[in-house]
A and B are shown apart, each in its own frame.
Chain A
Amino acid sequence: MQSGNNTKLLVIPCSGVGKVHGLISREAVYRVTDDLLPGQADTVCLALLVAGDAETKDKVQSIPCVTLDGCPKLCAFKNVELSGGKVSNQIRVYDVMKRYRGAHFGTATALSEAGWQVVDELADAVVPNANHSAVKEE
């Protein structure tokens, strides 16, 4: 998928495959790119970036990025920075999850209702970053 000329923001999840946190990060990104900021926000394959793909590196270096990480290893944030990307905001899934103390969020395969609530909350937290990047461009 090509980032269009109107892309103001890249939203990049860790996509951790082992735990529910990774799925939440991934779904929050799709909520932003597909529903909340279609045409304005896009994502890139983190593995492709880490593998050194030139086109993907160019994108993260030229468009402000928001990273969403599921675990404290912060793979998305660290790898975007290592690639020379501009991280305008780093969001940790856990910071939102801990507000739902005792809730069951689903699994790494399927989210529960509480899991989807976290997705929506994370996505809402990403949206203002697009507005900020638009203001900076002006």
Chain B
Amino acid sequence: MGEAVAKVGIISCSGEEIAEGTIARQAVRRVLEALRPNHTVTLCLPLFLAGEEGERRFAREHPTITVDGCSKLCAKRGTEKYSGEVSASLVVSDILGDRAKHCHRSTRQADKADEEAVWIVAERIAAAVDEFIGTRSAGQEDAAGSSAACCACGSPSSAAVVEINGASVTITGLPLIFQHLQKNGLSPDEESANTLLETAKIYHAIDAEDENAYRHALAAAYREFCRESTS
């Protein structure tokens, strides 16, 4: 891996006709807001294709990942037509396979199947982003002071602070992780600690010697999250 890259552009297909388009869009938002907020921006595909020079220039000058709902690859083909080869191309229908059949176009009908699909795709996008942000571990994303999650929309990053060995540590995406695990039926007991730790480690660098402290802190935070969400 060469020099570190400041920002990676992620372009989702609009995909209004199919559920995979909605999954692509939601997964991109999750990466922007929670998983890699400091290193990603998004570009509106219809605006980009219609000739917005600023967005085309960004895609020429930065690594760009396209996320398409289907094999028509509108995002990839459109980006390559105007801004050169994309750095990575992900296709939701390839990633999800049959799982996509149970997803919905409207977020109003979204259920567990949609939520899981969004997580799966978002994690694949985040992994692709990690390929380009290089020298900085993706797990070291620091929501504090982040200006990202952007298309200049100012959507706040989702993060939470836990106490680890007397120090406050911000974990990006922790509320979403809790929400996801709660939906999957994880009980807020001591046995949940390992699951919480393993999931948090995907998004946050944790040294081996700190694992026990994280285990306790995450279990306590998750208990509080579940208590608040049911009260």
Contact = CB atoms under 8 A, between A and B. Distances in A.
Interface in A1-49: 1, 12-20, 22-23, 26-27, 29-31, 34, 43-48
B47 A73 contact: yes
A82 B155 CA distance: 32
B89 interface: no
B153 interface: yes
B172 interface: no
Nearest to B45: A47
A13 B30 CA distance: 21
Given A76-B46, A107-B155, A15 B14 contact: yes
Nearest to A25: B16
Interface centre among A1, A15, A31, A47 (most CB of B within 10 A): A47
Interface size class of A (residues with CB under 8 A): 35 or more
Contacts of A109: 26, 29-30, 33, 155
B197 interface: no
Nearest to A110: B107
B26 A18 contact: no
A16 B75 CA distance: 14
B18 interface: yes
A79 interface: yes
Interface residues of B, number: 38
Contact of B46 (A15, A19, A31, A43): A15
A6 to B, nearest CB: 17
A23 B107 contact: yes
A53 interface: yes
A50 interface: yes
Contacts of A108: 29, 151, 153, 155
Nearest to A73: B47
Contacts of A111: 107
B46 A14 contact: yes
A15 B25 contact: yes
Nearest to A82: B50
Contact of A47 (B14, B28, B152, B153): B14
A78 interface: yes
Contact of A79 (B43, B50, B150): B50
A96 interface: no
Given A17-B42, A78-B50, A43 B153 contact: no
A47 B106 contact: no
Interface centre among B18, B44, B74, B155 (most CB of A within 10 A): B44
A73 B46 CA distance: 10
Interface string B24-60: 0110111001000000001111110110100000000
Interface of B: 12-18, 21-22, 25-26, 28-30, 33, 42-47, 49-50, 52, 72, 74-75, 77-78, 105-108, 150-153, 155
**Which 4 A-B residue pairings sit nearest by Cβ, starting from the closest?**
A18-B151, A30-B106, A47-B74, A50-B49
29 contacts: A13-B16, A14-B44, A15-B16, A15-B25, A17-B12, A18-B151, A18-B153, A27-B106, A27-B107, A27-B108, A29-B16, A30-B105, A30-B108, A44-B17, A45-B14, A45-B16, A45-B17, A45-B21, A47-B78, A48-B72, A50-B45, A51-B74, A73-B52, A75-B44, A75-B47, A76-B46, A107-B33, A108-B151, A109-B30
Given A48-B17, A107-B155, 4 more contacts: A17-B151, A47-B75, A79-B50, A108-B155
